[in-house]
Amino acid sequence: MINRTLVLLSGLLFSSVISAGHHEEAKTLAPVASAGQVVVVYELPCESVEAGLATLKGLIAYEVGASPIAYSSSPGIIGDAMIGAVDLHESISSMESALAWQESDAKWKAMQSKSMEACGVKMEDIKATTILAK
């Protein structure tokens, strides 16, 4: 009788462990971009990843408050010796407007230079990949 009870309890315990979480819905993420939006991935070699990332985060924080063009940017570390960002723009023309604003904004340019100095690189070392979502 004890063996039968143990087998029954073990079976119930095993089935409850196996089915745990099955009642929850799977979490999904929204697509990165919608058709017509532009994703730009920037990569930059960096001698001092932590210092470079800190200056890049400061630059992005400045963009959020100062840019007259709405866009999103997320900084990150790529591998062991690179930093970068992923930007999302509403359209190609929106991206072009954002780039024009960056080029015309003296504070933005100074912050970009500080970030590059922290990494020990020059403008031509930045790799940018542009993706037009379809």
Question: Does the pLDDT of residue 19 top 80, yes or no?
Answer: no
Mean pLDDT of the chain: 87
Sequence-distant (6+) residues with CB within 8 A of 110 are: none
Q: What percent of the chain lies above the pLDDT cut of 70?
A: 82
CB neighbourhood size of 97 (10 A): 18
DSSP 76-132: EEETTTEEEEEEEESSHHHHHHHHHHHHH-HHHHHHHHHHHHHHT--GGG-EEEEEE
Q: Going from the N-terminus, what domains does the chain have, and what CATH number goes with each? A: 38-132 (3.30.70.100)
- Residue range 43-75, pLDDT digits in tens: 999 999 999 999 999 999 999 999 999 999 999
**For 79-99, what is the mean pLDDT?**
96
Helix (H, G, I), strand (E, B) or coil at 74: strand
- Residue range 112-127, pLDDT digits in tens: 999 999 999 999 999 9
